[in-house]
Amino acid sequence: MAAQIWYENDGDLSVLEGKKVAIIGYGSQGHAHALNLRDSGVDVVVGLRPTSKSVEHAKEQGLEVKSVPEAAAEADIIMILAPDQYQRTIWANDIEPNIKPGAAVAFAHGFNIHYGYIKPTEDHPVFMVAPKGPGHIVRREYANGRGVPVVVAVEQDPRGDAWDITLAYAKALGALRAGAIKTTFTEETETDLFGEQDVLMGGINHLCDMGFDVLTEAGYQPEIAYFEVCHELKMLVDLMNEGGLNKARWSCSDTAQYGDYTSTVITEETKKRMQYQLKRIQDGSFAKEFMDDQDAGAPKFKQLQEEYGNVRIETVGPKLRAMFSWNNGKDDDADMATFTGKIARG
C-alpha cells in the first residue's frame, strides 16, 4: 500500500485565519515553527517561562512572547515543542488548566500522546506535524524557498476539521513544499524511537566506539583508527542521502563493497536484539524506564552521559576535527558543555 503524501496545493492557509497559534518552547524546533508560521502570515505567540533565556531571543526576532499559561489561554492551536520528559508537567500545570474549550493540541513527536502521559479531553483536536530534520534546517530551507518533509497524524478529530488544520499548519511551516506523509501517533513514535536506539544512535555510535577500540587494542594508532571508523562516516551518510544504500556502495571501491557484502559483524543475532528493543518500545517498557529516571532527577541518564561522553574515541576526535577547515571551530568542547549543562539543569 502506497503512502499518502500531501503537497503544497493540499494545504489551505485560510484555515488558520483568525486563529492564534501558541508555540510552547523556543529551542531547535520551537524557533523554526514560530518564525516560519509568522512569516507565512499566521498569528503566533511563543509561550515560555518568564525566566527562560529564550525570552529575549524570541523578542529580538520580533515575536510576541508570553508565559505558557497566558499563551495557552488565548490560543486556538497549541504546538507543544518542549523536550518529551517535560511536556506532561507543562501540560498539567500550565496548559490544561487554561486551554480554551475545543482548542487544538499539536506535537512534533508522538511520545506523550502515544504512551498516555498527556490526555486531552475529547473536545480537543490532537494532531502532529513532525519535521524530518532539525529546526535550524527547517528554518533555513523555508527561508530559501524550499521545505523539509514532515510526517503528519491526527489522533482526535471531534469536529471533523483536524486534517484541514494539520495540512494548513504543515503548509505554513513550509513542509508541503517537500511533502507530508500520513502516519499515526503510534507508528511515528515507535519507529522514531527504534531508529534512534538501534540504528542512528545506539547502532552507529556504538559501532564507531567499538571499532575504534578493536583497532587501537590491536596496536594501531588512535588517529588512524579515528579516521577509518568515524571520520569517513559522513561521506557515506551523504551518499546515502543522495542515492540510498546502493549509491553509497558503488561510490566506494570494489574492495570496500566486497567487504560490505561478506561482513559478519551485523548478524541475525543483531536482528533479534533489534526485535527485543522494538518490543520494549511497543509495550512501553522503554518509555517507563526513561520517564521514571527523569522523575528521579535523571541519575542513570547523567551517569550514562558521563560514561559515554568520555570514551577513548572522544579523546582523539577534537584535535583531528580541528584539522579540517570546514569545521570552522564548530567542534565541540563548548557545545558539549552546553549539552551536559542542559541535562544538569533538567
Give me the active site residues, please: 109
Question: Do 47 and 22 contact (CB within 8 A), yes or no?
Answer: yes
- Sequence letter at residue 64: E
Question: Do 101 and 77 contact (CB within 8 A), yes or no?
Answer: no
Q: Of 60, 101, 59, 52, nearest to 81 (Cα)?
A: 52
d(CA 105, CA 113): 10
Q: Which residues, including other chains, have CB under 8 Å from residue 161's CB and lie 6 or more apart? A: 15, 125
Burial track 265-276 (b if 16+ CB lie within 10 A, e otherwise): eeeeeeeeebee
Strand 20-24 relative to strand 77-80, pairing: parallel
Q: Coil, strand, or helix at residue 128? A: strand
Q: Which contiguous run of DSSP H or E holds residue 44?
A: strand 43-47
DSSP label of 2: P
Question: Do 114 and 174 contact (CB within 8 A), yes or no?
Answer: no
Q: Of 222, 237, 215, nearest to 313 (Cα)?
A: 222
Angle between helices 135-143 and 28-39 (to 10 degrees): 20
Question: Do 335 and 321 contact (CB within 8 A), yes or no?
Answer: no
Q: Coil, strand, or helix at residue 12? A: coil
Residue with cell 525570552: 55
